[in-house]
């Protein structure tokens, strides 16, 4: 285990409460075995990262949990109930943003509610609230092509928040965002995690990003994708971002993960 | 702003600083900013070359640009042009309307369903490859020389292009957007009408423009090969009496009408269906 920066106070009040359970999930694409016997539990209110080299099936696993890709065998339980497709308790944030280019920021953010038949006044009210939360006030009537990559992904995140799902699934949300904006974005995400009290499942291939934002990191190994290690960074997030990034505990966890993954680097 | 000498309207923005705004300066500034200037230069070059070629002359049957324009004005004024267009437009409008509605519907169904694609795509690929002019006599053989035969000629040319483009449009819809719609529990109906069709719109309209251009070819083939009516009749008649300026005027006018129709369609698409393109 990594040396914690500050010893975490043992949780005495609640026993682990799994909101998402992954049971014996296998996924094959023809002869290719993408995932083998994945068993995981994701605790309510925590941010868990799926981390691994390319080809480890982390995005596939996230899409199986989202109900966008069918698994070959095994089951996904959300709040104890088996699910086979997308549902209102989960919302997805896409790597390529998946914004409708013909719709304004406001309509894009409100789209999840539009599909559910929520009235225009109500969905615009909710959408405007979350547009503010992600820091895009004043951009409601802009179109996606008028925004930078980072701003587009903020729209994607606001859209996921607007449907008030318990679980947010983020598929490499910052990979198409440049480095400076990425850092700012990670800091903003942590504030949103703090404020919104939701469960986050986060896919990334950036070790630093995973350690910086996660309560728990699931390391996957490739071909076929399996769970190789689970790490809890135990980082005190009340410290300033630049303090965290220079902290020994943080750097040790990054190093530990790198040692675990370097065998897969070409 | 003292730009009274300028024949063109130049917007105030950026016009500052040109204290001695002569006509030339204004024109140069206009040219740097406006697409219209270059379109004008392009057409002016073409028509000048035509005028020179007509005056050389390259053939006694090749009228100058100015002769053609005056013939066109004459035909417009003596009441031969408008009735001719009314006749030509009947098979054209019916044929293009049928092709557009049927073509987009079939194309979308083929794009959404593999089985519909396997069933229908070969037919339209063959039809698109076939030299349609060779089939027009067959149409006459079955449907005679009336409106039905001419409408059918338009459809035969316009429909395959529209179907195949609509099908490709649906197949190239961003799969991530469809996933997005599914992840927010959009049903199949919502996927099609809120995501697939709007995302396919640019390619659907590209197909529609090609289809309309093909429809113009179809109606001219029909009017030249089946029986001379409308604009086809004007062309045939003036050719037979060696009235070449009038014949060229009829040909040029149908080209102009076709071009303007396509430009109008593009305007409608950008104005009403692609709000994000309105603002640059």
Domain ranges of chain A: 18-46+71-85+198-266, 93-196
* Higher-confidence position of B177 and A256: B177
- Fold classified for A18-46+71-85+198-266: Rossmann fold (3.40.50)
- CA dist list (Å): B15 to A29, A51, B1, B31, B35: 63, 57, 8, 13, 17
Q: Average pLDDT over chain A, rounded to whole?
A: 82
* Higher-confidence position of B13 and A109: A109
Over the stretch A203-227, which tens digit does the pLDDT of each residue have? Answer: 988 887 888 788 888 888 887 888 8
**Lowest mean pLDDT, pick from A9-13, A241-245, B124-128:** A9-13
Burial (CB count within 10 angstroms: exposed 0-12, middle 13-18, buried 19+), residue B14: exposed
Contacts of B179 in chain A (CB under 8 A): 68, 92, 94, 98
| Strand ranges (E), B151-269 | none
Q: How many residues make up chain B in this entry?
A: 280
Q: What is the crossing angle of helices A179-196 and A149-162, to 10°?
A: 20
Neighbours of B56 (CB within 10 A): 9
* Higher-confidence position of A235 and B90: B90
Over the stretch A6-18, which tens digit does the pLDDT of each residue have? Answer: 444 444 344 467 8
pLDDT of residue A266: 61
| Strand ranges (E), A52-103 | 73-78, 81-83, 90-93
pLDDT of residue A242: 75
pLDDT of residue B21: 60
Q: Do domains A18-46+71-85+198-266 and A93-196 have the same CATH topology?
A: yes
pLDDT of residue B69: 92
Kindly tell me the sign of the dihedral angle through the C-alpha atoms of A194, A195, A199, A201: negative
SS3 A77: strand
Using an 8 Å Cβ cutoff, are A158 and A131 in contact? Answer: yes
Please give the CATH number for the structural domain made up of A93-196: 3.40.50.300
Spell out the CATH class of B75-278.
mainly alpha
pLDDT at B120 over 80: yes
Using an 8 Å Cβ cutoff, are B1 and B15 in contact? Answer: yes
pLDDT of residue A61: 87
Share of chain A above pLDDT 70, in %: 93
Cis-peptide into A144, omega within 30 deg: no
Neighbours of B248 (CB within 10 A): 25
Confidence of residue A19 (pLDDT cuts 50, 70, 90): confident
Q: Which of B172, B176, B178, B180 to mutate to test the interface with A (most CBs of A within 10 A)?
A: B180
pLDDT at A265 over 80: no
Would an 8 Å CB–CB cutoff place A145 in contact with chain B?
A: yes
Share of chain B above pLDDT 70, in %: 91
CB pairs under 8 A between A and B: 60
Over the stretch A51-68, which tens digit does the pLDDT of each residue have? Answer: 887 778 888 888 988 888
pLDDT of residue A10: 40
SS3 A23: strand
Confidence of residue B5 (pLDDT cuts 50, 70, 90): very low
Over the stretch A173-195, which tens digit does the pLDDT of each residue have? Answer: 888 777 777 878 888 888 888 78
pLDDT at B93 over 90: yes
Kindly give the residue spans of alpha helices, DSSP state H, lying in chain A: 58-66, 105-109, 111-115, 120-133, 149-162, 179-196, 207-213, 241-246, 248-261
- Interfacial B residues in 183-212 facing A (CB < 8 Å): 183-186, 190, 194-195, 198-199, 201
Contact A92 B183 (CB under 8 A): yes
**Lowest mean pLDDT, pick from A24-38, A129-143, B15-29, B121-135:** B15-29
Confidence of residue B9 (pLDDT cuts 50, 70, 90): very low
| Helix (H) or strand (E) run with residue A27 in it | strand A18-29
**Lowest mean pLDDT, pick from A48-57, A88-97, B253-262:** A48-57
Listed by start position, the domains of chain B span 75-278
Contact A92 B180 (CB under 8 A): yes
pLDDT of residue B279: 55
SS3 B54: helix
Confidence of residue B20 (pLDDT cuts 50, 70, 90): low
CA angle A203, A257, A67 (to 5 degrees): 20
Contact A94 B176 (CB under 8 A): yes
User: In degrees rounded to 5, what are phi and psi of residue A29?
Assistant: -115, 95
- Interfacial A residues in 77-116 facing B (CB < 8 Å): 85-88, 90-92, 94, 96, 98, 100-102, 104, 111-112, 114-116
Over the stretch A129-139, which tens digit does the pLDDT of each residue have? Answer: 989 888 888 89
pLDDT of residue A9: 40
pLDDT of residue A24: 83
Pick from B218, B217, B253: nearest CA to B235: B253
Identity of the highest mean pLDDT range in A41-45, A181-185, B217-221: B217-221
């Amino acid at each position: 285990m990594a040396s914690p920066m500050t010893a975490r106070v043992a949780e005495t009040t609640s026993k682990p409460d799994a909101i998402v359970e992954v049971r014996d999930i296998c996924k094959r694409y023809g002869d290719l075995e993408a995932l083998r016997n994945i068993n995981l539990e994701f605790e309510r209110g925590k941010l868990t990262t799926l981390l691994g080299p390319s080809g480890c099936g982390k995005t596939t696993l996230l899409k199986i949990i989202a109900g966008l890709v069918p698994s070959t065998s095994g089951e996904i339980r959300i709040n104890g109930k088996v699910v086979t497709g997308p549902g209102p308790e989960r919302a997805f944030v896409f790597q390529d943003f998946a914004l409708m280019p013909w719709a304004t920021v406001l309509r894009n953010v409100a789209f999840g509610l539009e599909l559910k038949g929520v009235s225009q006044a109500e969905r615009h009210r909710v959408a405007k609230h979350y547009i503010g939360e992600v820091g895009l006030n004043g951009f409601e009537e802009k179109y996606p092509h008028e925004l930078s990559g980072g701003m587009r992904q903020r729209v994607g995140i606001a859209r996921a928040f607007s449907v008030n799902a318990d679980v947010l699934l983020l598929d490499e949300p910052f990979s198409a965002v440049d480095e400076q904006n990425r850092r700012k974005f990670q800091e903003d995400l942590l504030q949103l995690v703090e404020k919104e009290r939701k469960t986050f499942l986060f896919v990334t291939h950036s070790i630093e990003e995973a350690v910086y934002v996660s309560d728990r990191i699931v390391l996957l190994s490739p071909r076929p994708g399996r769970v190789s290690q689970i790490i809890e960074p135990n980082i005190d997030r009340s410290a300033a971002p630049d303090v965290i990034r220079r902290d020994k505990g943080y750097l040790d966890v990054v190093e530990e993960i790198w040692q675990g993954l370097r065998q897969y680097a070409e | 702003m003292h730009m009274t000498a300028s024949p063109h309207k130049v917007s105030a923005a950026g016009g500052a600083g040109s204290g001695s705004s002569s006509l030339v300066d204004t024109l140069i500034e206009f040219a740097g900013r406006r697409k219209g200037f270059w379109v004008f230069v392009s057409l002016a070059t073409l028509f000048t070359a035509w005028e020179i070629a007509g005056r050389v002359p390259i053939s006694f049957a090749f009228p100058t640009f100015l002769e053609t324009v005056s013939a066109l004005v004459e035909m417009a004024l003596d009441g031969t042009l408008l009735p001719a267009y009314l006749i030509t437009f009947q098979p054209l409008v019916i044929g293009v309307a049928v092709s557009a509605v049927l073509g987009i519907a079939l194309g979308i169904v083929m794009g959404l369903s593999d089985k519909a694609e396997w069933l229908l795509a070969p037919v339209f690929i063959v039809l698109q490859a076939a030299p349609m002019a060779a089939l027009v006599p067959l149409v006459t053989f079955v449907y005679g020389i009336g409106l039905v035969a001419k409408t059918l000629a338009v459809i035969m040319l316009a429909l395959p292009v529209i179907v195949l483009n609509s099908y490709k449009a649906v197949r190239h819809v961003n799969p991530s957007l469809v996933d997005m719609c599914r992840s927010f529990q959009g049903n199949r109906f919502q996927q099609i009408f809120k995501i697939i069709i709007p995302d396919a719109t640019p390619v659907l309209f590209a197909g529609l423009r090609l289809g309309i251009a093909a429809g113009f070819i179809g109606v001219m083939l029909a009017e030249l090969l089946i029986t001379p009516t409308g604009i086809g009749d004007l062309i045939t008649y003036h050719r037979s009496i060696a009235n070449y300026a009038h014949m060229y005027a009829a040909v040029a006018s149908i080209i102009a009408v076709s071009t303007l129709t396509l430009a109008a369609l593009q305007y409608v698409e950008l104005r009403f269906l692609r709000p994000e393109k309105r603002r640059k």
